[in-house]
Amino acid sequence: MVSGGARAVARCDALAVQPFSDSAEGLTRTYLSPAYHAAQEQITAWMAEAGMTVWRDAAANLIGRYEGREPGARALVIGSHIDSVRNAGAYDGPLGVMLGIEAVAALAASDVRLPFAIEVYAFGDEEGSRFPAAMLTSRAVAGTLDPATLDVADRDGVRLGDLLDLAAYPSARREAGEILGYLEAHIEQGPVLEAEGLALGTVTGIAAQLRFEIGLCGTAGHAGTTAMALRRDAVAGMAEMVLAAEEVATAGPADLVATVGVVEVPSGAANVIAGRSRFTLDVRAGDAAVRDRAAEDILRRFRGIAGRRDLGLSVRQVHDLPASPCDPALMDLLDAATAEAGHRPFRLVSGAGHDAMIMAALCPTAMLFLRCRGGVSHNPVEHVEPADAEAALAVMSGFIRLLGAKCDA
């Protein structure tokens, strides 16, 4: 007999190919694409089979509800996202949804009803891989969505308003009185659990994030005739800045990271000294003060490098997400359920953003991380062991039972 954890993994694998992928080569499932709708249809069937009533809200989130002892009771939301990046792995997002379905299926099979309902949410736009905005659907649910954000188009010129009623979109909002809490199971997307030899970890919070666009202006010149001492090389300056950012982050606490993910050299050529360069800087830490001090130090070094190299420097902040701590009481319940399931409780920070950070504006949140091979995600080689998924399911079921007992007390 296939275990619930193994079935959750197998279902993620089944959703990683056409018609559930926009691409015949690898998994790409973007918000509101044909593959997205096909995946929703399949997940609807799995939710109904598990004993849930299923519907789709105005933001095209898919929701399955397993009623509590009393109709209309507040709900514990278990959720994650079903959209993906381009050329993705199978488990980033969907595994949390599949485990939520399995947790409900186990309750229904034993005819167990709780002092609260359970709603499994399959969010639609966590990655932001189609439209130039991310987490639109969870922001709609949490009530933090700026309607102006919905005025977007994809790379083919298709507008979000061509696909959904934007006036109705905010009606996906839930009220705080309806929701007891939020639980999200997700692959770690990092190597910590694997290094610790652990299958699972309780997330303490999601790191604060800052992102900048940096521009450098020097003087373009001939690669063969301009003496080194006379150069105002925008690429050399950028290279020194990249290493400066790495140096600051490496010297900080373990959860401090700095990343240059995009570099551009407009009008670059093999025989031309670059007159301009652009790059991004992403700085994250579990504590906003740590993040901010690191960012200030990095930018101070950038200014020093630009001054010494006689380069013009522009800095534009494009992203600022505060840290999102998980609820202490729910973390304690996750730790207790982990211990009951025979695993060592372990806590860690999430360096990546998740729908949980958005839902924190609506209700208390908790996250359970699963080990993934090599810490690799957003990649076709993403891998989760079925045994680890089974362990996660046991912890989630224990968490639900402990929360029920707490509500009954």
**382 pLDDT higher than 80:** yes
Backbone torsion region of residue 323, taken as left when φ is above 0, otherwise alpha when ψ lies between -120 and 50, otherwise beta: beta
> What are the φ/ψ torsions at residue 342 (nearest 5 degrees)?
90, 20
List the one residue out of 394, 407, 396 whose CA is nearest residue 182.
396
75-126: pLDDT as tens digits: 999 999 999 999 999 999 999 999 999 999 999 999 999 999 999 999 999 9
Average pLDDT over residues 320-340: 94
Position 322 scores a pLDDT of: 84
- Distance, in Å, from the CA atom of 145 to the CA atom of 135, rounded to the nearest integer, reads 9
26-56: pLDDT as tens digits: 999 999 999 999 999 999 999 999 999 999 9
**1 pLDDT higher than 80:** no
**2 pLDDT higher than 90:** no
251-267: pLDDT as tens digits: 999 889 999 988 999 98
139-162: pLDDT as tens digits: 999 999 999 989 999 989 999 999
**167 pLDDT higher than 90:** yes
Position 320 scores a pLDDT of: 85
Position 115 scores a pLDDT of: 97
**132 pLDDT higher than 90:** no
Position 398 scores a pLDDT of: 98
Return the percentage of the chain with pLDDT > 90, whole number: 90
The DSSP element (H or E) to which 187 belongs, if any, is strand 179-187
Core vs surface per residue 161-185: b (16+ CB within 10 A) or e: eeebeeeebbebbbeeeebbbbbbb
pLDDT classification of 316: cutoffs 50, 70, 90? very high
Ranges assigned E (strand) in 41-153: 53-56, 62-66, 75-81, 117-123
The residues, ordered by sequence, that sit 6+ positions from 225 with a Cβ below 8 Å of its Cβ are: none
Average pLDDT over residues 342-360: 93
Q: Which two tokens stand for residue 141?
A: 């649910």
263-276: pLDDT as tens digits: 999 989 999 999 99
Q: For the chain, what is the mean pLDDT?
A: 95
The DSSP element (H or E) to which 12 belongs, if any, is helix 4-14
Ranges 302-311, 315-324, 332-341: which has the least confidence: 315-324
The DSSP element (H or E) to which 297 belongs, if any, is helix 288-309
Ranges assigned E (strand) in 275-333: 276-285, 312-321, 324-325
Ranges 162-166, 167-171, 314-318: which has the least confidence: 314-318
Higher-confidence position of 255 and 246: 246
pLDDT classification of 318: cutoffs 50, 70, 90? confident
Position 254 scores a pLDDT of: 87
Position 134 scores a pLDDT of: 84
- Distance, in Å, from the CA atom of 79 to the CA atom of 367, rounded to the nearest integer, reads 10
